[in-house]
Amino acid sequence: MSKDSAHSTATGTDGRSDDTMSHAGPADRALLPTATGAETLAALRALLRGHRLLAVTAVSVLVTGTGIGLLTAPLLGHVVDLVVEQKGSRALTVPLVLLVVVALARGAATAVGSALVARLGETVLAALRERFVERALHLPLERVEEAGSGDLVSRVTGDVSMIAKSVRQALPEFTRSAFTIVLTFVGLAVLDWRFLLAALLAMPVQVLAARWYLRRAAPVYAEHRVATGALQHQLLDSVGGVRTVRAFRLNGLHVDLVEQRSRTAVDLALRGIHVVTGFFSRLNLAEFIGLSGVLVTGFVLVENGSVSIGTATAAALYFHSLFNPVNAALFLLDDAQSAGASLARLVGVSDLAVPADTDGREVPVDGAVKVSSLDYAYVPGRPVLRDVDLEVAGGERIALVGASGAGKTTLAKLIAGVHRPSGGTITLGGADAGELGPAGMRRTVSLISQEIHVFAGPLADDLRLARPEASDDELRAALSKVDALSWVDALPDGLATVVGEGGHRLTVTQAQHLALARLVLADPPIAILDEATADAGSAGARLLETAALKALEGRTGLVVAHRLPQAATADRVVVLDGGRVVETGTHEELVTTGGRYAELWTAWSDSRPGIARRGNEDGD
Amino acid sequence: MPDGGPTGRHVLRGAITDQRRHVVAASLLGMGHQACEALVPVVVGVIIDDAVAKSSTDTLLRWLLVLAVLFLVLSTCYRTGARITEGVGERAAHRLRLDLGARVLDPRGGADADRLPGALTSIATNDARRVGSAVTVLSYGAAALAALAVSAVALLRISVPLGLLVLLGIPPLLWLGHRISGPLERRSETEQERAAHASGVAADLVAGLRVLKGMGAEPAAVSRYRRTSQDSLSAALRAARSRAGHEGAVLALTGVFIAVIGIVGAYLAMDGRISIGELVAAVGLAQFLLGPFQLLTYVNAEFAQGRASARRIAEVLAAPAAVEPGGAALPTPVAGRLRLRGVTLGTLRGIDLDFTPGTLTGVVTRDPAAARDLLLCLARESDPVEGVIELDGVALTGLDPDDVRRAVLVAAHDADLFETSLLDNVRAGKDAGVAELEPALTASAADDVAGLLPDGVDTVLAERGRSLSGGQRQRVALARALAADRPVLVLHDPTTAVDTVTESRIAARLREVRRGRTTVLVTTSPALLAVTDRVVVLDGGTVTANGRHAELVAGDEAYRAAVLA
């Protein structure tokens, strides 16, 4: 009974604070779908279908083990009868041997059964998470962004680990407890059916207590999860920005923020503890009712001669040994509920149709890009691109120039196939982009965006995402092409250095170097670089510009240029303004024409007296 | 206590003594609870003996009443005690969290050196929680000891040999169980860590989704995840097998132990040395006693974890300050004259610099490390190893670092935005209205950024401002730096991600908005350098050139290379 509940309370709430689902998206977001109860069950059945034999074996072994274990009480009852009947100490040998055999057999069966249940649970869990990640990575980016990336992240971390925790901790304990309860009831009925009736007197109280608990616990735990997420978030926000906090003397403000978040989390944890302790003390009442019932029944049945004192003893021992399993099973109902909710959120995404990953009907012949009458709007009625026409020859390098919000990034994303045009067409290498198929599209065009991510793991693995079969020599060649080999070789373990989250921290410049090396490895005929150098600081930016030029050699390049020297060295400059192409031409042409680009160039070269011409000539 | 900082022991002891009354109350209640639990099988034995065997209704009713009272007491004790003790743990963790937050954010710095934000956050959440748990389990430990005492007395009263058998049998039993399960558990833990790896990889891939999509690496990523997931699966299965083996072994041992107690009790009962009811009670107590013993093991483990966590917390709390406050007072009003004499730190080698009040000075260096070191000592995040920096004639080392920052603001290139509205970010804790912030917002072109956001200046930014593009982030950070309106402002590369037209506009307005105050621009951007009064060039850790931007461009080849490449 509650001797166990003491740690259940402590560990239960502890475990919860780990699964932070910090990204509670705004309510008006179109969150990713969540499966209905029926869909979730169907998905679970489908997952279990391949493991029927395993499931049946696991259940049989556990039932056998529990059944053997239940022989202990009647054997002890038998011993009591032997004592009452004064059979002599020799008679005790058989029950002694039997008790030891029962203990050993029960231990063995439990070991095998638990291992089998774990195998079943873990195998299904692995299949589930693999299916989920596959679907998640194939979701259209638009859909993910619509839902807010936090939605997907919280499913992949919070929900998956919630289910894993249930499979690892709750499932084995719950299965064992459930079998123990059911078989103990059977055992009580075998002793005398009236003992079972007496034991069942406790049930209404247990049902009421469980309903009371579930109704109150679930919302408190959910709020507590959100609150611990917010606390963790606040700590990361404040600690991560500590130098800014100090520079602006925001220490007091941020300590207050941490205090508020921590206090909210503590208050909710205490409310959760209040509910759990209330639940267990209600279960104490059920224990008392059941135990008294069994004792009174034993009293009556012994008095009228239906059962022996030994049987009455066995019944009382049976019921006393039920305290822990009943508490455990009812307490785990909450975990089961949370795991069910998490499962529904995973199945909701897993059940989405995956676009067939095939080659399309057409194959690109070269690296030419043709965009005609392209329209695009993120929100209907607010067009970002209007009637854009653009032709790029294979191998040509184009600079896209314009102020923030002119539509440069959107155009880049449309050509890369991240978004679908609202109107107009895009042809890549002479083939309609829509007809290339996902696999064809992947081989044809790569996009390097401002978004920087170093994948956690050995640096070589990060690079191999672009070309899984690449040898170490090919990786080194790609790195050397973008001038990154020297610093990679200087890392503690070279190519094998673990980078990314939890590993060696790379600078922004190094991270973008890796992105360019991946581009070289993927080797698509068309490459799009969007603000790829902007975050690196002025010194890093120049380094990366040189690397980018080398990475683009031999392919069609569309470069979203912030620094004008980048534009000046391009084969052609395309100026966007308000979602339209306003000028196209070489740097010289545009400067001489005296339009928008000339204005930009003047603004830039004004601050560089005597150098404007030179920058132009040197190409650097 | 080395250097006046707390040790792990101090942290843990402090957490306990802070709330000793609550700890004592919870312990007493826990003891009451466990004692009553121990008495339940005793009462069951008495009922079998005196009521069932003797068919006495009166006795039955009397003892059922006793049982009812027992349950009432144990339930109340449990509920109250658990609420108190869990509250104690939560509050202890809360206090430690605040202490850690205050220490890390302290103006003197030092606690954040060599520690990643993630690691510090984990200390403030997980380690603080574990110390809280260690305080919580104290009362559970007391309760378990009480249960042992009550059971021991009950057992010894029934029969001295039987009592001794149970009491002396359980520790070796637990020891044996521990010997069997110890290696299994350790293996299970390492395997579980590997099993957890899969979710880490999945989260990482999803975090890099845009990058994956950009290079069309989804299939490669999926097959990589499959491999990881399968590795994790085999690790998890090995872990589960170990765990299952451990459970089975413990169950078998316990079963054998109870069998032995039952049979020895039966022999004693046959000799008439104990009654049937006493036999029942002895078996029940043997079964029950495993609980308190396991509880003690659990308390011990939690306490060990709590000690390790307390040590980690103490290390942060005791971290030496990066800079020590001096006794001098900040001159009022601050004129804004900065003077560096022979400053040596990191890559800086004896630098002499003068920033006169009200001027706009550019500092150009091609070495990012030199820029970083200069900013560190101007912000008083570090003090120079040699040399002195003076503000209006007062050495910075003589001032409180917080006072220094009252007068001098160093805005880092990668300054962090916080997860609050754009306006609150720019306001940075000040009590200023939109109108007051208007000049800063306009000068940094952050008003254009706000114009593109759904709720304008009231739009809440994502963590670190990630919902904005790099250029937008820089403009908001610049607006914040300008709005702070300090006598001295040091800006590091404030416009690297901003487009050229906007950069020129910012450069033009910057002069205006900082008129009359000292401003230092550490940058190589010609647009910004063009509006400075004077430019200083740092190379190889020393000042190598000094003059107006236009003169340097015209006459200094190295300068041209650094600035106009």
Q: Tens digit of pLDDT for each residue in A453-483?
A: 888 889 999 999 999 999 999 999 999 999 9
Task: Say how far apart CA A490 and CA A507 lie, in whole Å.
Answer: 14
Query: Confidence band (pLDDT; 50, 70, 90) for B22?
Result: very high
Looking at residue B276, the DSSP 8-state letter turns out to be H
- Mean pLDDT is lowest, of A201-210, A400-409, B34-43, for A400-409
CATH number at residue A539: 3.40.50.300
Give the nearest chain B residue to A107 (CA atoms): B248
Structure tokens at B460: 């809440």
Give the nearest chain B residue to A566 (CA atoms): B565
* CA-based nearest distance B341→chain A, Å: 23
Task: Say how far apart CA B461 and CA B473 lie, in whole Å.
Answer: 10
Q: What is the dihedral of CA A216, A221, A223, A229, to 10 degrees?
A: 180
Q: Do B499 and A89 touch (CB under 8 A)?
A: no
pLDDT tens digits for A521-572?
999 999 999 865 555 555 667 788 888 889 999 999 999 887 777 788 899 9
Task: Say how far apart CA A332 and CA A276 lie, in whole Å.
Answer: 11
Give the nearest chain A residue to B367 (CA atoms): A539
* pTM (2 d.p.): 0.76
In percent, the amount of chain B with pLDDT more than 70 equals: 95
Q: Do A89 and B267 touch (CB under 8 A)?
A: yes
Asked if B249 contacts A107 with a C-beta cutoff of 8 angstroms, the reply is yes
| Residue of B229, B232, B412 with shortest CB distance to A243 | B412
pLDDT tens digits for A264-292?
999 999 999 999 999 999 999 999 999 99
Q: Is there a single domain that holds both residue A284 and residue A403? A: no
Most distant CA pair in chain A, distance: 120
Backbone φ and ψ of B543, nearest 5°: -80, 125
Asked if B265 contacts B279 with a C-beta cutoff of 8 angstroms, the reply is yes
Give domain status of residue A78, yes or no.
yes
Within 8 A of B565 by CB-CB distance, chain A residues are 542, 565, 620
pLDDT at A103 over 70: yes
**DSSP character string of A226-252:** HHHHHHHHHHHHHHHTHHHHHHTT-HH
pLDDT tens digits for B395-427?
999 999 999 999 999 998 777 888 889 999 999
Give the nearest chain A residue to B465 (CA atoms): A237
Give domain status of residue A312, yes or no.
yes
Q: Is there a single domain that holds both residue A285 and residue A386? A: no
For B332-428, where are the E strands, in sequence order?
A: 338-345, 348-355, 360-365, 386-391, 394-395, 408-411
pLDDT confidence of residue A609:
53
pLDDT confidence of residue B484:
92
Reported CATH class of domain B1-158+294-322: mainly alpha
In this structure, the strands spanning A498-499 and A457-458 are: antiparallel
ipTM entry? 0.85
* CA-based nearest distance B2→chain A, Å: 26
Q: What is the mean pLDDT of residues B34-58?
A: 88
Give domain status of residue A360, yes or no.
no
Give the nearest chain B residue to A262 (CA atoms): B94
pLDDT tens digits for A148-180?
666 777 777 778 877 877 877 788 788 888 888
The count of other CB atoms within 10 Å of the CB of residue A554 is 12
pLDDT confidence of residue A5:
38
Q: Is there a single domain that holds both residue A373 and residue A470? A: yes
pLDDT confidence of residue A28:
47
* Helix, strand or coil, per DSSP, at residue B436: helix
Cα–Cα distance list, B514 to A247, B423, B489, B511 (Å):
18, 20, 9, 5
Higher pLDDT, A168 or B91: B91
Asked if A461 contacts A541 with a C-beta cutoff of 8 angstroms, the reply is no
Write the burial class of residue A368 (CB in 10 Å: 0-12 exposed, 13-18 middle, 19+ buried): buried
Q: Is there a single domain that holds both residue A455 and residue A323? A: no
* Helix, strand or coil, per DSSP, at residue A188: helix
In percent, the amount of chain A with pLDDT more than 70 equals: 88
Q: Do A291 and B67 touch (CB under 8 A)?
A: yes
Structure tokens at A467: 């070309």
Q: What is the mean pLDDT of residues A68-82?
A: 83
| Residue of A104, A141, A538 with shortest CB distance to B493 | A538
**Amino acid present at A465:** L
Within 8 A of B236 by CB-CB distance, chain A residues are 118, 122, 168
Asked if A500 contacts A457 with a C-beta cutoff of 8 angstroms, the reply is yes
Within 8 A of A1 by CB-CB distance, chain B residues are 37
Question: Into how many domains does chain A fold?
Answer: 2
Q: Is there a single domain that holds both residue A559 and residue A475? A: yes
pLDDT tens digits for A16-43?
333 333 333 333 456 788 888 888 889 8
| Residue of A82, A123, A247 with shortest CB distance to B411 | A247
Give domain status of residue A307, yes or no.
yes
Helix, strand, coil shares, percent, chain B, to 5: 70, 10, 20
Q: Do B44 and A243 touch (CB under 8 A)?
A: no
Query: Confidence band (pLDDT; 50, 70, 90) for A612?
Result: very low
Within 8 A of B235 by CB-CB distance, chain A residues are none
Task: Say how far apart CA B478 and CA B484 lie, in whole Å.
Answer: 10
Within 8 A of A441 by CB-CB distance, chain B residues are 216
Give the nearest chain A residue to B80 (CA atoms): A277
Within 8 A of B30 by CB-CB distance, chain A residues are 6
* Helix, strand or coil, per DSSP, at residue B473: helix
| Residue of A76, A126, A134 with shortest CB distance to B283 | A76
Q: Do B79 and A152 touch (CB under 8 A)?
A: no
pLDDT confidence of residue A81:
84
pLDDT confidence of residue A457:
86
* Helix, strand or coil, per DSSP, at residue A307: coil
Give the nearest chain B residue to A417 (CA atoms): B214
pLDDT confidence of residue A105:
93
Higher pLDDT, A396 or B244: A396
Asked if B532 contacts B360 with a C-beta cutoff of 8 angstroms, the reply is yes
Within 8 A of A14 by CB-CB distance, chain B residues are 129, 133
| Residue of A100, A119, A247 with shortest CB distance to B379 | A247
Task: Show which of A350, A383, A413 is a domain's final residue.
Answer: A350
Backbone φ and ψ of A29, nearest 5°: -70, 150
Q: Is there a single domain that holds both residue A239 and residue A145? A: yes
Q: What is the mean pLDDT of residues B93-121?
A: 87
Q: Is there a single domain that holds both residue A266 and residue A178? A: yes
* CA-based nearest distance A96→chain B, Å: 6
**DSSP character string of B231-267:** HHHHHHHHHHHHHHHHHHHHHHHHHHHHHHHHHHHHH
pLDDT confidence of residue A453:
85
**DSSP character string of B529-549:** HTT-SEEEEEETTEEEEEE-H
pLDDT at B142 over 50: yes
Q: Which of A583-597, B65-79, B357-371, B439-453 has the highest mean pLDDT?
A: B65-79
pLDDT confidence of residue A532:
53
* CA-based nearest distance A284→chain B, Å: 6
Q: Which of A227-231, B503-507, B513-517 has the highest mean pLDDT?
A: B513-517
Range of the domain at A112: 2-17+33-350
Q: Counting one residue from A and one from B, how many pairs have CB atoms under 8 Å apart?
A: 528
Q: Do B215 and A465 touch (CB under 8 A)?
A: yes
pLDDT confidence of residue A139:
84
Structure tokens at B118: 């993630």
Q: What is the dihedral of CA B188, B190, B196, B198, to 10 degrees?
A: -110
pLDDT tens digits for B240-276?
887 788 778 878 888 888 888 888 888 888 888 888 8
Give domain status of residue A293, yes or no.
yes
Question: Of A409, A610, A419, A448, nearest to A529 (Cα)?
Answer: A448
Question: Of B522, A604, B547, nearest to B555 (Cα)?
Answer: B547
Give domain status of residue A355, yes or no.
no
Within 8 A of B74 by CB-CB distance, chain A residues are 2, 284
- Mean pLDDT of all residues belonging to chain A: 83
Task: Say how far apart CA B544 and CA B559 lie, in whole Å.
Answer: 10
pLDDT confidence of residue A19:
33
Q: Is there a single domain that holds both residue A482 and residue A529? A: yes
Length of chain A: 620
Task: Say how far apart CA B180 and CA B172 lie, in whole Å.
Answer: 12
Interface test with B, best of A17, A76, A419, A533 (most B CBs within 10 A): A76
pLDDT tens digits for B332-382?
889 999 999 999 998 899 999 999 999 999 999 877 788 889 999 999 989
| Residue of B137, B244, B368 with shortest CB distance to A111 | B244
| Residue entry with tokens 């039920």 | A322
Query: Confidence band (pLDDT; 50, 70, 90) for A200?
Result: very high
Task: Say how far apart CA B86 and CA A271 lie, in whole Å.
Answer: 11
CATH number at residue A62: 1.20.1560.10
Q: What is the mean pLDDT of residues B103-131?
A: 84
pLDDT confidence of residue A398:
93
Question: Of A177, A125, A155, A161, nearest to A8 (Cα)?
Answer: A177
Task: Say how far apart CA A234 and CA B418 lie, in whole Å.
Answer: 9
Give domain status of residue A25, yes or no.
no
Within 8 A of A317 by CB-CB distance, chain B residues are 280, 283-284
Q: Is there a single domain that holds both residue A406 and residue A293? A: no
Q: What is the mean pLDDT of residues B324-336?
A: 88
Q: What is the mean pLDDT of residues B529-548?
A: 92
CA A302-A303-A308 angle, 5° bins: 20
Within 8 A of A405 by CB-CB distance, chain B residues are 452
Within 8 A of A254 by CB-CB distance, chain B residues are 101, 105
Within 8 A of A309 by CB-CB distance, chain B residues are 48, 52-53, 276
Q: Is there a single domain that holds both residue A393 and residue A524? A: yes
* Helix, strand or coil, per DSSP, at residue B388: strand
Where in chain B are the domains?
1-158+294-322, 338-564
pLDDT confidence of residue B222:
92
* CA-based nearest distance B1→chain A, Å: 27
Give the nearest chain A residue to B139 (CA atoms): A6
Asked if B471 contacts A404 with a C-beta cutoff of 8 angstroms, the reply is yes
pLDDT confidence of residue B237:
85
Q: Is there a single domain that holds both residue A119 and residue A266? A: yes
Give domain status of residue A507, yes or no.
yes
pLDDT confidence of residue A417:
84
Q: What is the mean pLDDT of residues B504-516?
A: 91
Residue A499, CB half-sphere, CA atoms under 13 Å: how many? 24
Task: Say how far apart CA A71 and CA A184 lie, in whole Å.
Answer: 10
Reported CATH class of domain B338-564: alpha beta
Query: Confidence band (pLDDT; 50, 70, 90) for B29?
Result: very high
